[in-house]
Amino acid sequence: MPEPIRKATPVDLALIVILALIWATAFQAIKVAGHEVPPFWLAVARVGTALTALLPWALFRGLVLPQSAREWRMVLALVVLNIVIPFSLINAAERTISSGETALLLGIGPLAGLILSHFLTEDDRLNLRKLIAVGLGFAGISMVIGVQAFQQLGTHIVAQASVLLASICYVSSGIIVRHVHTIPPVRLSALTFSIAAVLLLPLAWLFEGPPPAISASTFWPILYLGLFPSGVATILRFHLLRQVGVSMFAHVGNLIPVFGVMLGAVLLGETITGVVIAALVLILGGVALARTGAQRQP
């Protein structure tokens, strides 16, 4: 049985913010790298970079392997749903749709997470507070992304369906993480990236041929994607899912597009509008509501 979730602490909330900031930078890096590197090879590069960083530490601490056939099945499912499918699908989708559309479609994930966690866990059940909290978060996302992203829905149906499927995969893998509780987050991350590399390499060779040559301008985004949105983010994700559950963790997805706009203001001098501030208030209100709801649960 997984350990029961608890009310999010200030440290948990800080980690949620940090994770959202890391992932908010990923979409643009994928856009840049995707100009030279096809989807499967980009996934291989991300996984390989993350594995190179994490494996020495995991081996130093002692690699922990699943102890039963059931645990192995859970880990394999986690690899496929958390890395292989979503990495490949999002990489492919961002070749034809905008980062805003991607963020909007991934923002549907929290609602799916509420539903799945209600039926598949004992301590993360759906209630009115959580439903309102997720609704506030999605309203905030919609304000940031704007009407244009909604108008574009359906214009690239395959790419948009790919992002939706990736979102569902991420949510499903979040449920699995809570059941693979015998392996610490860093070592579980190293294990999953190791298996993912074995699965992705033949797929990349089969469907995309030999690895492409890359320029220096592409190398740095790939390095960043591997170290932070893949490596560091996966460790934080596994930790938070075990501690605060799927429904609380889902607010990471709501914060991503807001932070994306804010990073644009800080790094590129773009303007932060009143709409963005109002969206942030809505999203943070949803987080606060979800947290107080967790406090009142028995």
Please tell me the least confidently modeled range out of 1-10, 12-21, 39-48: 1-10
Residues 6+ apart with CB under 8 A from 73: none
- Mean pLDDT (whole number) for 176-203: 94
Give yes or no for residue 99 having a pLDDT over 90.
no
pLDDT given for residue 156 in this prediction: 75
DSSP class of residue 102 equals H
- Nearest 5°: CA angle at 283, between 248 and 110? 45
Between residues 224 and 291, the one the model is more confident about: 224
pLDDT given for residue 251 in this prediction: 74
Residues 6+ apart with CB under 8 A from 209: none
Tokens found for residue 122: 């004992």
pLDDT given for residue 123 in this prediction: 55
- Mean pLDDT (whole number) for 232-238: 96
Q: What are phi and psi of 233, to 5 degrees?
A: -65, -35
- Mean pLDDT (whole number) for 130-145: 72
* 29-46 pLDDT per residue, tens: 898 899 999 999 999 999
Residues 6+ apart with CB under 8 A from 231: 49, 50, 53, 54, 189, 193
Please tell me the least confidently modeled range out of 53-62, 231-240, 288-297: 288-297
The confidence band for 151, taking pLDDT boundaries of 50, 70 and 90, is low
- Nearest 5°: CA angle at 261, between 214 and 265? 90
Tokens found for residue 131: 């439903």
Question: What mean pLDDT is reported for the chain?
Answer: 83
CA atoms of 85 and 3, how far apart (whole Å): 27
Strands (DSSP E) found in 9-49: none
Instruction: Please give the C-alpha separations between residue 25 and each of 2, 137, 241, 261, 280, in angstroms, as whole numbers.
Output: 32, 19, 21, 10, 17
Cα 78 to the center of its chain, rounded Å:
13
